[in-house]
Amino acid sequence: MSKAKTLAKRVRQGRMPQQAPNARSVAYSVLTKVQEQDSYANLLLPHVLGGSELSTDDKRFVTDAVYGTLRWRGLLDAVIVSAHGRSLNSINKRLVNVLRLGAYQWLFMNGAEYAVVNESVKLAKKRAGQQTTGFVNAVMRKIVARTLDQWRETLSQESSYEDEAERLAVQYSHPAWIVRELAAAWNAGGYAPEPSVKESGVNEELEGLEGLEAMLAADNEAPAVTLCVRPSLADMDAVYDEVEALGGRVQRGELSPYALRVRGVNPQNLASVTEGRVGVEDEGSQLAALALALAPVEDADGVKGAEGTEDAAERGERWLDMCAGPGGKTALLASIAQEVGATLSANEPHEHRRELVRENLKAIDAGTLGEISGRDGREFGATFPGAFDRVLVDAPCSGLGALRRRPEARWRKTAESVQELASLQKELLNSALDATRSGGVVAYVTCSPVLAETRDIVSAVLSARSDASRLDVPSVLEELNSSIPLPASVDSASPRDMQLFENIHDTDQMFIALIRKI
Ligand SMILES: C[S@@+](CC[C@H](N)C(=O)[O-])C[C@H]1O[C@@H](n2cnc3c(N)ncnc32)[C@H](O)[C@@H]1O
């Protein structure tokens, strides 16, 4: 057998590394897998890049190209359709990601006109055959004839939009139904200049909502890496030094007293992280756990108890995290419980996620931990009536508050999938209230601002029971840190929930409600 044939055979059998494919081709493969196999880019990309022979610069290119193309897909598709003059469905499937990648490189990565067109044509030839190159060349030439601003202007003036939400959806690359949901949440959240009580007529709600545009823009920016320095387990200054010793930069978070924002370091290289004394956790998540820990509980006879966690040990407080996986909030609650002398139980029905909870809790003293269980959260109320002082329900939700972390997520969700979770969310909250003693507190939390799974769930549950009432979350968080931006007090007599917004708090868009069991 000739040398070349032997080599080809070994490559086919996977015994030899193939020649490193170029960066654009790797990006194309990842995009196609994300689309066709429903893979998650943030899991697939490190795996693909780890096993490739690409240079560091090429890996950076692939990462930016994949995340960017996924995030901006809506705008890129509108550009492609406008340049082509026909619908996306009329384009050979294999060419769509070639054009998206080319358009992204031109509009967002400062690609040179000639290189962007040429490389797109080469990629088309490789992936879809020589006969497709003329088409790609023609469409790409039209795309590079305008800058990003010019394309936005052109698309903005198109007359085919049914409403303002559809126009914003293209400009900021979101599905229009998500724009409408976010608009409603923004309007109800207490940060819009003139909060409107209108719940219908999305067009009117959208008028003058610069905040909404800032929110949509923030979904397209990668978030900072934030650490949670778990109290009683790690020391702020020591973690500061540890990050700097590895060449990273670090600054204090602005909202949570336990937050450090870091750059230029992989958190998995920090001993404090691998030992479970520090976690990677968004500040919004930290605030949600802290709100529960700091909410005032009352004694069982209705007498106002101590503020926050004072006397928690004396009271023998029992805390429960009912939907714990993967366990970021659990670990923060557990480290506070350890500090104040409470005990914490954690529940997560999915085994692999329960393992992550255990991993997150590995630095916690055994004496602080109650049961780590795998129940359906809906069973707690009947199985452990009135057993807990504080219960966290971080409910399964659409995750529309964390779109900046999951670039492909916005294209996978549907309005129906949001509605489908509502009854589970209500049942979990009811179960948590039943499992809470009189005078105790439940935190209902989601990483979504969508009203149907936040405010409306709490209101529906409370309107059907007479033994529970809302607490004012902004007041609890203000005690923690007076510089947290708080919602306007629409009616000071009504206790408020708290919706965090990316553009206001620079956190994931967590929703936090606190409910007292009467
Ligand atoms: C939003 S996540 C919780 C995130 C977690 N608190 C953290 O900060 O890391 C919701 C969790 O609820 C779990 N879950 C789903 N259905 C549940 C049920 N019926 N009872 C309890 N937990 C459930 C999911 O497996 C998921 O891990």
ipTM of the complex in this document:
0.99
The pLDDT-based confidence of 491 (bands split at 50, 70, 90) is low
**Under 8 Å between Cβ of 286 and 303:** no
pLDDT digits (tens, 9 = 90+) for 407-429: 999 999 999 989 899 999 999 99
Q: Is a pLDDT exceeding 50 seen at residue 309?
A: yes
DSSP codes of every residue in 315-363: HT-EEEESS-TT-HHHHHHHHHHHHHT-EEEEE-SSHHHHHHHHHHTTT
Question: Is the pLDDT reported for residue 203 higher than 60?
Answer: no
- Under DSSP, the state recorded for 514 is E
- In ligand 1, the atom with minimum distance to the C-alpha of 360 is 9
Q: How far away, in angstroms, is 469 Cα from ligand 1 center?
A: 24
**Does domain 225-274 sit in CATH 3.50.30.30?**
no
- Has 495 been labeled as part of a binding site? no
pLDDT at 510 over 80: yes
Residue nearest atom 1 of ligand 1, based on CA coordinates: 396
pLDDT at residue number 201: 44
Please confirm whether the linkage preceding 326 is cis (ω < 30° from 0).
yes
pLDDT above 80: residue 306: no
Under the banding of pLDDT at 50, 70 and 90, the label for residue 307 is low
322 CA closest ligand 1 atom index: 21
**Of 513, 486, 502, the residue nearest 190 (C-alpha):** 486
Q: Which of 290, 323, 329 for a ligand 1 pocket mutation test, highest count of atoms within 8 Å of Cβ?
A: 323
Q: Where are the domains of the chain?
A: 20-150, 163-218, 225-274, 283-517
Do residues 336 and 231 touch, judged by C-beta distance below 8 A?
A: yes
Q: How far is the CA of 424 from the centre of ligand 1 (A)?
A: 11
Q: Which fold has domain 283-517?
A: Rossmann fold (3.40.50)
Cα separation, 142 vs 136, whole angstroms = 10
Which tokens go with 238? 């020591």
Strand partners, 228: 259, 279
Q: What pLDDT is recorded for position 69? A: 97
Please state the φ and ψ torsions of residue 258, each to the nearest 5 degrees. -105, 5
Give the separation between CA 322 and CA 431, rounded to whole angstroms: 10
**Strands 436-446 vs 468-471: parallel, antiparallel or unpaired:** unpaired
Is 328 annotated as a binding-site member?
yes
CA dist 284 to 217, 261, 289, 313, 392, Å? 18, 13, 9, 27, 15
CB 512 within 8 A of CB 484: no
Chosen CATH of 20-150 out of 3.40.50.2300, 1.10.940.10, 1.20.1260.10, 3.30.465.10: 1.10.940.10
Q: pLDDT per residue over 37-84, tens digit each?
A: 988 998 899 899 988 889 999 999 999 999 999 999 999 999 999 999
C-alpha distance from residue 395 to each of 311, 334, 425 (Å): 28, 19, 6
Mean pLDDT score of the chain? 91
Q: How many helices (H) and strands (E) does the chain have?
A: 26, 12
The DSSP result for 120-174, as a single string, is HHHHHHHHH-GGGHHHHHHHHHHHTTS-HHHHHHHHHT-S--SSHHHHHHHHTT-
pLDDT digit string (tens) for 348-384?
Answer: 999 999 999 999 999 999 999 999 999 999 999 999 9
Query: Higher-confidence residue: 208 or 433?
Result: 433
Give the ranges where 421-514 is alpha helix by DSSP (H).
422-434, 455-463, 473-480, 502-505
Residue 12 has pLDDT above 60, yes or no: no
pLDDT at residue 6 is higher than 70: no
**pLDDT at residue number 394:** 98
User: Annotated active-site positions, please?
Assistant: 447
Residue type, 302: G
Helix or strand (DSSP H, E) at 250: strand 249-252
| pLDDT of 226 higher than 70 | yes
Query: With bands split at pLDDT 50, 70 and 90, how would you rate the model's confidence at 14?
Result: very low
Provide, rounded to the nearest whole percent, the portion of the chain with pLDDT above 70: 90
Residue 17's pLDDT band (cuts 50, 70, 90): very low
Q: What is the gyration radius of the CA atoms in the chain, in angstroms? A: 25
Strand partners of residue 32: none
CA 334 to centroid of ligand 1, rounded, Å: 17
* Residue 173 pLDDT level (bands cut at 50, 70, 90): very high
Ligand 1: distance of its center to the CA of 59 in Å?
33
Atom 10 of ligand 1, nearest CA residue? 396
- pLDDT at 207 (0 to 100): 52
Instruction: Determine if residue 385 is labeled as part of a ligand binding site.
Output: no
Give 67 or 489, the one with higher predicted confidence.
67
| Most ligand 1 atoms within 8 A of CB, residue of 280, 319, 332, 348 to mutate | 348
pLDDT for the residue numbered 52: 87
Is the peptide bond preceding residue 407 cis, with omega within 30 degrees of 0?
Answer: no
Q: Is 327 annotated as a binding residue?
A: yes
State the distance between the two ends of the chain, measured CA to CA, in whole angstroms.
84
Rounded Cα gap, residues 386 and 248, in angstroms: 47
List all residues 6 or more positions away from 31 whose beta carbon is below 8 Å from its beta carbon.
66, 69, 70, 97, 100, 101
Q: Which residue has the higher pLDDT, 308 or 111?
A: 111
Does the annotation list 284 as a binding residue?
Answer: no
Count CA atoms within 13 Å of residue 49 on its CB side. 20
231 marked as binding residue? no
Paired tokens of 437 = 């003693």
Grade residue 193 by pLDDT with cuts at 50, 70 and 90.
confident
Is-contact 324 356, C-beta < 8 A?
no
Mean pLDDT of 333-362: 97
Amino acid making up residue 93? K
CA of 31 to the centre of ligand 1 (A): 28
With 0-12 / 13-18 / 19 or more C-beta atoms within 10 angstroms meaning exposed / middle / buried, residue 197 is: exposed
Atom of ligand 1 nearest to the CA of 396: 10
Q: From the CA of 389, how far away is ligand 1's center (Å)?
A: 20
Provide residues with CB under 6 Å of ligand 1: 285, 322-329, 348-350, 353, 376-378, 394, 396, 447
3-class DSSP state for residue 471? Answer: strand
What DSSP string describes 378-439?
GGHHHHSTT-EEEEEEE-----GGGTTT-TTHHHH--HHHHHHTHHHHHHHHHHHHHTEEEE
pLDDT at residue 7 above 50?
Answer: no
Is the pLDDT higher at 165 or at 313? 165
Tokens of 259: 């937050």
How many whole angstroms separate alpha carbon 420 and alpha carbon 14?
45
Nearest CA to ligand 1 atom 21: 377
